Amino acid sequence: MMSPVPIPAAGGTPPRRRFRAPAAAASALAAAAAMLTGCGAPAPASAQSAGCAPAPSALAIVVAVHADAAPGIPAEAGCLVNAALEADAPISVVAEDGAPYAVLTRHAYGIVPGSDTHDGDLDKARTDLIRTVTTAAARTDGDNALAALALAGQLTARTDGATAGPAWSPAVVVVSPGLPDTGKLDLTVASMATAPAGEVADAVTAAKAVPALPGTRVLWAGLGQAAGAQQPLPAAQAGNYQAIWEAVLAKAGAAAQIIPGPVSGAGTPNSAGHAIRPVPPIAQAPVDLPRAGGTAVYPNTSALGFRPDSTDLRDPAAAATAAAALAAWLTADPHRTLTVTGTTADTGTPQAQHDLALARAQAIAALITARGPDPARITTAGAGHDFPGYTPDHSPDGTLDPARAEANRTVRITLTP
């Protein structure tokens, strides 16, 4: 079974961290070589479920190498890696940083099935490959996961120009949190936590940034997981990022399998590596009611957020808690009133925007009145995208900007004491 061997931490964490070779690299690689001698055994159930038949025609391993990641080969990828080595398929390694680059380019290890030196050659190839992966280092700050996948697609593409003969079956193993902070997909923008996956994938397509991965098996480990300075993400937020990547990979023509949870056997991130901006965990803030009246704005990431193109609340329990607080505010003084206004992005027709915004406002009003207040004290309105503070959410060529569009989707509650 193949387990990742992390790059050991190497000292403190200055404001802008730069890579330094880990002092314990030699002992880590020796341990890796010892563990890899058992990789010829039958793959564990997790690896078998990933599927490795047929053997990859070409394999690329994409590893995040910034300060919030620990390069390694997870056990779940053992089946694909072994199959590629046994088939003498070309193997590449891509370092995922702000400007991804190939650490290893289409290298065939020369394994000959049935030869007298087969077992020794296979063990040496495993050791060499794990060394290449675990010692990969960032050259620049940041993380551009889209560019790393694009490079993996180039390195696993067919190069012989053949249109007939055996089918080409490339595979890519990704070991990365998948939380880029640069390039055409920046998940550090807060509104991306709830941005519809389809809108994001369409925007990546319009930017001509979808990697070319036709017919490629993609096995992804560590997606959405916290490491280093990256704080753990709420399950719903991490789940939306996974949906975004699945939508992008579908556009790329890939068949993706996401291995849930942390990378098996993951170690300590390289704290001396190049810096990456962490993705902020989006917590639902408590309902904050202006004491002297005024308007409170609740973004789609809040307790009063809705699922895409619907009146279904993202978190009904949190919405009920917010509605109870608003009901209590009304009940405390019979002269108080409030107005609930829904706003939307500039997508669809103006009438459709108005109708959706109004329906969402009415859904919030219904939650409040269900807790006692007189419905006559609540006014609802649908503003669509015509409201103060609207941020233009289309690029000059007409493409929807999913981050800005999501930021325009709000519920606004105006309190009149």
Please, where in the chain does CATH 3.30.1330.60 lie?
A: 294-416
Please, where in the chain does CATH 3.40.50 lie?
A: 25-259
pLDDT band at 77 (very low <50, low <70, confident <90, very high): very high
Position 34 scores a pLDDT of 41
Q: Could you read off the pLDDT of 180-236 as tens digits, one per residue?
A: 999 999 999 999 999 999 999 999 999 999 999 999 999 999 999 988 889 999 999
- Residue 210, judged by CB atoms within 10 A of its CB (0-12, 13-18, 19+), counts as buried
The matching CATH number, chosen from 3.30.479, 3.40.50, 1.10.1060, 1.10.357, for 25-259 is: 3.40.50
Q: For residue 118, how many other CB atoms are within 10 A of its CB?
A: 14
DSSP letter for each residue of 347-375: -S-HHHHHHHHHHHHHHHHHHHHTTS--G
Among residues of the chain, what percentage have pLDDT more than 70?
Answer: 84
CA dist 117 and 108 (Å) reads: 16
In sequence order, what are the residues at sequence separation of 6 or more whose Cβ sits closer than 8 angstroms to the Cβ of residue 104? 91, 92, 93, 129, 132
Q: Output 268 or 266, whichever has higher pLDDT.
A: 268
Lowest model confidence (mean pLDDT) among 149-163, 169-183, 324-338: 149-163
The matching CATH number, chosen from 3.30.1330.60, 3.30.1360.40, 3.20.20.140, 2.120.10.30, for 294-416 is: 3.30.1330.60
Q: What is the mean pLDDT of residues 405-416?
A: 95
Cα dihedral 53, 55, 56, 61 in deg (nearest 10):
90
Strand, coil or helix: 133: helix
Number of alpha carbons in the 13 Å side-chain half-sphere of residue 65: 29
Q: Is the pLDDT of residue 32 over 60?
A: no
CA dist 390 and 353 (Å) reads: 13
Position 283 scores a pLDDT of 81
Report which of 155, 158, 131 is spatially closest to residue 35, judged by C-alpha positions.
131
Report which of 409, 387, 417, 414 is spatially closest to residue 295, judged by C-alpha positions.
414
